[in-house]
Amino acid sequence: MKSKIAFLILFLSPALLWAQHKSYAVHNIGYFFDAGISFGATFPKNNEPKAIVEAFTTHGYQFSKTFSLGAGIATYNTETINIYMQVRFNLRDINDTRSHYTYIALRGGYSWSTWTGDNWGDDKGPLIDPRFGWSFYTKEANLRWSIFAAPSLYQFHFIPKVGLAFEF
């Protein structure tokens, strides 16, 4: 349990280090990152469904107010390490007067298991994660956050999930 808490703190520490007194009302051109969590389930053939909790962080570059490209790392139930690239398109031009907008994102990458059984990393495979989301800006807290739905394909398993992310 202590190792999982330590992992989570280390995983989300960039959010604590990057938090400054700048405004997150718009996505500024330059470095960005987000950190979040999602919940879903996998439905393998001939097996019972399994609940999935994903923790993730993405780091990248915001090229314009509507386009960004990044790379990230995630884990499912601390049983996998998922490395991915993400492309994101905000469906509206963001300005100070708009407090919310929709977006689409596509993640593609690879996953390895962290099992310490017979052979570490035997359970591995591709990861495709299209996301449809809604980003919000809360002026009182100077906080940008988003909710999303993602019909993911993980190692050839379908994982529908919903999540919450904080954007910096």
Question: Residue range 104-115: average pLDDT?
Answer: 91
pLDDT at 105: 97
Range of the domain at 64: 2-167
Give residue 96's pLDDT.
58
Query: Is residue 6 within a helix (H) or strand (E), and if so which, with residue range?
Result: helix 2-18
Count of domains observed in the chain: 1
What are the residues facing 72 on neighbouring strands?
58, 84
Q: What is the pLDDT of residue 10?
A: 56
DSSP state of 116: -
Helices H / strands E in the chain, number of each: 1, 8
Predicted structure pTM score: 0.81
User: Among positive and negative, which fits the CA dihedral 72, 153, 111, 51?
Assistant: positive
Greater pLDDT, 44 or 116: 44
pLDDT-above-70 percentage for the chain: 76
105-109, 117-121, 140-144, 163-167: which range is least confident on average? 117-121
**CA 155, CA 101: separation in Å to the nearest integer?**
31
Give the CATH number, domain containing residue 65: 2.40.160.20
Is the pLDDT reported for residue 11 higher than 60?
Answer: no
Name which of 19, 17, 103, 88 is nearest 58 in CA terms: 88
